[in-house]
Chain A
Amino acid sequence: MKVTIDGKEIDVPKGTTILQAARMIGPEVAPPAMCYYTKLKTSGGYCRTCIVKVTQGSTANPNPMPKPVASCRTEIMDGMVVENFISPDLLEARKGVVEFLLINHPLDCPVCDQAGECKLQDLGYENGSAKTRYEFKRREYEMIDIGDKIKLHMTRCILCYRCVKVCDQITDNRVHGVVHRGDASEISTYIEKIIDNDFSGNVIDVCPVGALTDKTFRFKQRVWFTKPVEAHRKCTKCSGKTRVWLKGDEVLRVTARKDQWDEVEEFICNECRYDHKKTSDWTIEGPSHVNRHSVISQNHYEHLNDLKLQILKQQKALGFMEINKRP
């Protein structure tokens, strides 16, 4: 099946989605995706950042589609023509989506552990506006521990459903989910039950923002000061192939390896993630390829202290709690 995306043509097998086809062509045409995750069935469709314009439905039915479609959930038809970055209308629409995702986001990047590897940060930087038009109090939730290793900071969540799908699909007993509805929706465990099984830690890796973070790593180090290396160990529960984040000789954290789209290559078990924090536990293969186009590589955080002050001011103006009050 032939499809043209932003003027580039590619042949793809039946059943390929627009997003997958765009990724095959390359990052220059691939739409951003906040909720879609290749390894998780039925993921995608919620965040609406990957919307694209279909200017020709197919060769058989050349009419354009009336509305932008979620590229992650729309299959290619033969002869389809898609516009992404070349359509100013679409970019304006996407800017709207990014704004919606950000209006209730705390923008507490200076104190957020995800900063530097946050998909929302990248998205806002690349597709959003510099100024907010939202003047109301933002949603806030209490931070809670879900298990002794995972911190849930719901205030930052964008409801991508990835963590829910991880627990549904790769663990055997889901105890957390999306509760309540509308803009009161939140990720929650069943009356503060804990997520506890061998693969629960993967919810941290799939979280696009700083809503689910690794408590064993929290506030240890800014991610851009650490050195990620590919490593492995013999493991009976998972492949044992991981990414180990080092500072000097110290293992600060262990995560799954991610591909160029920032998606986990292979899910890893909690033992590898949490229980092997010595360099001698691991066989180091070599430095990880950090394919970043975001804040890390562009060094937007070199004047961190200034930035902190600036954001503190903004947050005060927006009626936030003092950010220093964090536990």
Chain B
Amino acid sequence: MGRKLLIHNDKVPGIHSLEVYRAHGGYASVEKALKTMTPDQVTDEVKKSGLRGRGGAGFPTGLKWSFLAKPEGVPRYLVCNADESEPGTFKDRYLMEIIPHALIEGMITSSYALGAKTSYIYIRGEYFYVARIVEKAIAEAYEAGWLGKNILGTDFSHDCYVQVGGGAYICGEETALLESLEGKRGNPRIKPPFPAVAGLWGCPTVVNNVETIAAVCPIVNMGGEEYAKIGIGKSTGTKLISASGHINKPGVYEIELGVPVEEFIYSEEYCGGIRNGKKMKAVVAGGSSVPILPTELILKTAKGEPRLMTYESLGDGGFQTGTMLGSGGFIVMDEDTSIVKNLFTFTRFYHHESCGQCSPCREGTGWMEKILKKFLNGTANESDVELLWDIQSKIEGKTICPLGEAAAWPVAAAIRHFKQEFLDIAKSKKFVDVSHYDKLYKVRA
């Protein structure tokens, strides 16, 4: 059994309530930080821990915090990115729904470190019911004095609010999120300036993912060095993985970074292997944006070493033979899956979610979707594969925000590793969907 730091109590009845959460050691990090540490000491622990942003980019959190500008007389903000919308990712929803106080505790401790008097939790609109759960928890925290004026009798006062979005994947990009929080269209800003200098309403702001903020609590409790002992190399600590697709046990798992991918997929502790005794065909390891890998490359690197669940090991070989840990959205596909059709759903997604500000993404995502539709209709030509490749290469790196890459990478990877599937459809002028949905029919029969 791997160590769990975030959702170890997820099966405890009533853990969503302050009373039970507190009885299981909750809010200890707030007590420790406010009573025994300076804000800079908290930041130092986070730096020592090696914690990396859990939203997908994997940027060192302590470093991000240290960039925060601190001009006199200007408020600073902490904003929690709970706009979880990356296909394949549902870990933040699980955490907020089951243990909302873990996030609120992290918000208070992190805000103390950053000197933020106000923080916002921006939750995607579709998670309205989750927002209600978090709001109720916030109300409990106010009542018990964990939020509000002079927390624990110290000078530190803090207000935390929930804001719901309106339905837009792009608001998971931190500057689009800030625009949305300001009541505007979710158009990513042109950087620089970065939020650390000019963020929410032009004030210095740190935007962190739900899981990142929640991880600050165990880091403060156990100390950054201790936390850094978990994991391998620069992949420290634990990570929530959302597992879905053709596996026996889909769900959210907390792993120590460094678990072998093979163990994660096949062991009973985690995914429990592929459903219906099928073979595995491919895996999208870190949410829809990261390159898809065929079985042989997801289980072993090109060098023949076992692939591990770490930022480095999954990235080994670059995009030629590797992928990324991303947000930890782990989608497993069995042997009957059509890579082309799965790619179509991804590309349709990015087309639907493009904000439309910059031309390569606005025009390119729709173009790619239309071409992939031709494959599903059986009207594609072999030259369409080359065209798709060229279009994705002309989107990648030319856009304002990373949505361009997010849309381009899956297309590139599918062609890189499964080109024959595209060519077969183009040659035979026929697309046969052989996927089966056992769940639906089992109950029906």
Which residues does A use to contact B, with CB under 8 Å? 44-48, 51, 66-68, 70, 73, 93, 96-97, 99-101, 103-104, 133-134, 136, 158-159, 178, 180-185
Q: A64 → chain B, closest Cβ, in Å?
A: 13
Say yes or no: B365 contacts A47, CB within 8 Å.
Answer: no
- Contact A96 to B360, CB < 8 A, known contacts A48-B398, A178-B185: yes
Alpha-carbon gap, A45 to B355, bound state (A): 14
Q: Which of B352, B359, B399 has the most CB of A within 10 A?
A: B359
**B359 contacts which of A68, A133, A158 (Cβ < 8 Å)?**
A158
Given contact pairs A133-B387, A181-B185, A183-B366, enumerate 5 new A-B contacts (beta carbons under 8 Å): A51-B398, A100-B367, A136-B367, A159-B359, A181-B356
Alpha-carbon gap, A62 to B398, bound state (A): 22
**B367 contacts which of A66, A93, A134, A180 (Cβ < 8 Å)?**
A134
Say yes or no: A47 contacts B354, CB within 8 Å.
Answer: no
Q: Which of A45, A99, A181 has the most CB of B within 10 A?
A: A181
Say yes or no: B362 contacts A96, CB within 8 Å.
Answer: no
Alpha-carbon gap, A3 to B366, bound state (A): 38
B397, closest chain A residue (CB): A67
Interface residues on B, range: 20 to 34
- Contact A100 to B352, CB < 8 A, known contacts A46-B400, A68-B398, A133-B387: no
Does B262 sit within 8 A of A, measured CB to CB? no
**CB-based closest 3 A-B pairs:** A96-B394, A185-B356, A67-B397
B350, closest chain A residue (CB): A182
Which residues does B use to contact A, with CB under 8 Å? 168, 185, 190, 351-360, 362-367, 370, 387, 393-395, 397-400
Say yes or no: A48 contacts B356, CB within 8 Å.
Answer: no
Main secondary structure of the interface of A (DSSP, over half): loop
Q: Which residues of A contact B366 (CB under 8 A)?
A: 182-183
Q: Which of A70, A73, A99, A100 has the most CB of B within 10 A?
A: A100
**A183 contacts which of B190, B354, B393, B400 (Cβ < 8 Å)?**
B354
Alpha-carbon gap, A185 to B360, bound state (A): 14
B393, closest chain A residue (CB): A96
Alpha-carbon gap, A203 to B281, bound state (A): 54
- Contact A100 to B387, CB < 8 A, known contacts A67-B397, A93-B398, A159-B356: no
25 of the cross-chain contacts (CB-CB < 8 Å) are: A45-B400, A46-B357, A46-B359, A47-B358, A48-B360, A51-B398, A66-B397, A67-B398, A93-B398, A96-B395, A97-B359, A99-B394, A100-B362, A100-B394, A104-B363, A136-B370, A159-B359, A178-B185, A181-B354, A181-B355, A182-B351, A183-B354, A183-B356, A183-B365, A185-B362
Q: A15 → chain B, closest Cβ, in Å?
A: 12
